[in-house]
Amino acid sequence: YLWRRRKKALIKALQKIKE
């Protein structure tokens, strides 16, 4: 599953929006 890579990207995007 590529969920791990997608989750990592999602977390990165969430952190970018948080900042």
Provide the 8-state DSSP code for 4: H
pLDDT at 18 over 90: no
| pLDDT for 1 | 60
| pLDDT for 12 | 93
| pLDDT for 14 | 93
CA separation, residue 15 to residues 2, 7, 8, 10, 11 (Å): 20, 12, 11, 9, 6
Structure confidence by residue, pLDDT tens digits, 5-17: 889 999 999 999 9
Q: Output 1 or 11, whichever has higher pLDDT.
A: 11
Q: Output 2 or 6, whichever has higher pLDDT.
A: 6
| pLDDT for 3 | 76
